[in-house]
Chain A
Amino acid sequence: MGEIFLKAFEALWQVLAAGIILGAGLPALFALGIKALGAGRTLAADGTSYTTPATGTGRAGSTILFAICVAAVMFGIFLVVATGFGIKVFGS
């Protein structure tokens, strides 16, 4: 029984690590992209919208950050397919 717990914990911390890096890291990158889009813009008085258009650097920065997120989702799709066809991408 002890062995079972040990094995489960071993897999578990890997899942937790991957979860934190991808599952919390990507939303953070996405949030940075949203923030970049609003950089250097004037907020409306009620805080719901902007009164000035997005700046060039803001657009460029957010595009890069969103692109990373899209790439990560693509990698996710690749991982689903790879797992389905029995290919190991990482892990032992």
Chain B
Amino acid sequence: MTEALFILAIVVITALAFDFTNGFHDTANAMATSIATGALKPKTAVLLAAALNLVGAFLSIQVALTVSNKIIHIQGANGAPVPELMGVPILTIIFAGLVGGILWNIATWLLGLPSSSSHALFGGLIGSAIAALGLDGVKWDGVVSSVILPAFFSPVVAGLVAALGTFVVFKITAAVATGPREKGFRWGQIGSASLVALAHGTNDAQKTMGVITLALIAYGSWTNLESIPLWVKVACAVAIASGTYIGGWRVIRTLGKGLVEISSPQGMAAEFASAAVILSSSHLGMALSTTHVATGSILGSGVGRPGATVRWAVAGRMAIAWIITLPAAAVVGAICWAIAHGVGGALGTGIVFAILVVSASLMFRHSRKTKIDPNNVNEEWDGGLHPKSATSSESKTPVSV
């Protein structure tokens, strides 16, 4: 095995791992409200979301090479890698960027914070590109127009729409019996949430497909700029769907229980708002972060319902996480590039990969201390992410006689 082939293999594995974290981080975007209101059982919800993500991933033939091309200077106008970066240089940049994205995704999941997976990936790539090529390695115009501006506007737009929808819905159904009302809206919730899950598969699986295809082109084993190898499609679809099925229960809990006390009419209004904003913007060629939209919608559904509980402290924590997502992932991406490039070759890549595996396992182990799963995801929000049943389990250990 040559050095470049080894690095390519690591890049592909890392990209699929990123796709997996993308899936479990974003399950909440579509399903948090349906789980919180009991419209769907937690396990059913993640299964539905996973199936729709899987299908969604195949519903696109658009060339995904433009995703990385919008923000960093490693490709020419047609999407092909810049000749002098062909091979190991570009593979190293992509690899370090992916590691930055994954580590940020896992860290925010651990804290139960919904943060954009796309921003984590972009941040990682920006960091590794700056480390490798200097500040000119980044297309700052593209970063502002397709990453930073949408991040500020999309939650506001989605929040406005959801607040308006929620307000109108409660106005219309004020005199309706509460039982049938709650039940009826659950159906609307499931329909609109499914739409969000489908759109998520179509938009997000594409990004990883593009990254892997770019790596294959850089290595030289794929030359077609217009299409994606079938095995890449299948692998990415399966990775994002299985991630979705595992379900990021910590993020689901924050979005479904932490931000707003949600009832099914609010949930339906929020999901319809998310679906409308995501679908119309991606159709207009402006891909918004599903996470930003979904969070804005849920917050809006709390604002739109008179007398609803909105936990602004939780929203504030999320906002801070969003702001630092890009720079944080960028710093990790830059450090990883420096190590991989500094040590060089297969060894350098191997070391960074080992760092990724070790830190991911450590964070996962830490999460087991206060486990959040389908059984306690809907427990009462009591000042923080960790459900009582998970934190008090140690003291409940039976005393041996």
- Best-buried of A8, A50, A90 by chain B (most CB within 10 Å): A8
Report Cα–Cα, A86/B161, bound state, in Å.
27
Question: Across the interface, do B173 and A35 meet the contact criterion of CB distance under 8 Å?
Answer: yes
CB within 8 Å for A47 and B177 given contacts A15-B157, A15-B277, A27-B272: yes
Report Cα–Cα, A50/B273, bound state, in Å.
30
Question: Across the interface, do B153 and A86 meet the contact criterion of CB distance under 8 Å?
Answer: no
CB distance from A92 to the nearest CB of B (A): 9
Identify which of residues 258-286 in chain B touch chain A, using a CB-to-CB cut-off of 8 Å: 265, 268-269, 272-277, 279-286
Question: Across the interface, do B195 and A76 meet the contact criterion of CB distance under 8 Å?
Answer: yes
CB distance from B137 to the nearest CB of A (A): 19
Question: Across the interface, do A84 and B61 meet the contact criterion of CB distance under 8 Å?
Answer: yes
Closest to B60 in A: A84
Report Cα–Cα, A15/B286, bound state, in Å.
10
Question: Across the interface, do B276 and A22 meet the contact criterion of CB distance under 8 Å?
Answer: yes
Identify which of residues 1-58 in chain A touch chain B, using a CB-to-CB cut-off of 8 Å: 1, 4-5, 7-8, 11-12, 14-16, 18-24, 26-28, 30-35, 37-38, 41, 43-44, 47-50
Can you list 21 contacts pairing A with B, beta carbon distance less than 8 Å? Answer: A1-B144, A12-B157, A15-B281, A16-B161, A19-B273, A23-B158, A23-B275, A24-B165, A27-B169, A27-B268, A27-B272, A31-B168, A31-B169, A34-B172, A49-B177, A50-B177, A76-B195, A76-B279, A80-B195, A84-B62, A86-B62
Identify which of residues 137-159 in chain B touch chain A, using a CB-to-CB cut-off of 8 Å: 141, 144-145, 149-150, 153, 157-158
Report Cα–Cα, A15/B292, bound state, in Å.
14
Is residue A64 contacting chain B, with contact meaning CB distance below 8 A?
Answer: no
Q: Point out the residues of chain B lying under 8 angstroms from A38, CB to CB.
A: 175-177, 180
Report Cα–Cα, A19/B184, bound state, in Å.
22
Question: Across the interface, do A34 and B202 meet the contact criterion of CB distance under 8 Å?
Answer: no
Question: Across the interface, do B61 and A73 meet the contact criterion of CB distance under 8 Å?
Answer: no
Pick the contact of B284 from A35, A70, A80, A91 — CB < 8 Å? Answer: A91
CB distance from A83 to the nearest CB of B (A): 5
Q: Point out the residues of chain B lying under 8 angstroms from A30, CB to CB.
A: 169, 185, 188, 268, 272
Question: Across the interface, do A28 and B165 meet the contact criterion of CB distance under 8 Å?
Answer: yes
Interface of A, helix, strand, loop or mixed by DSSP:
helix
Question: Across the interface, do B149 and A37 meet the contact criterion of CB distance under 8 Å?
Answer: no
Question: Across the interface, do B145 and A19 meet the contact criterion of CB distance under 8 Å?
Answer: no
Please list the residues of chain A having a beta carbon within 8 angstroms of any beta carbon in chain B.
Answer: 1, 4-5, 7-8, 11-12, 14-16, 18-24, 26-28, 30-35, 37-38, 41, 43-44, 47-50, 69-70, 73, 76-77, 79-86, 88-91
Closest to B171 in A: A31
Question: Across the interface, do A49 and B179 meet the contact criterion of CB distance under 8 Å?
Answer: yes
Question: Across the interface, do A73 and B195 meet the contact criterion of CB distance under 8 Å?
Answer: yes
Is residue B56 contacting chain A, with contact meaning CB distance below 8 A?
Answer: yes
Q: Point out the residues of chain B lying under 8 angstroms from A86, CB to CB.
A: 61-62
CB distance from B355 to the nearest CB of A (A): 36
Question: Across the interface, do B277 and A23 meet the contact criterion of CB distance under 8 Å?
Answer: yes
CB distance from B301 to the nearest CB of A (A): 10
Question: Across the interface, do B149 and A23 meet the contact criterion of CB distance under 8 Å?
Answer: no
Q: Point out the residues of chain A lying under 8 angstroms from B268, CB to CB.
A: 27, 30
Q: Point out the residues of chain A lying under 8 angstroms from B145, CB to CB.
A: 4, 7-8
Is residue B221 contacting chain A, with contact meaning CB distance below 8 A?
Answer: no
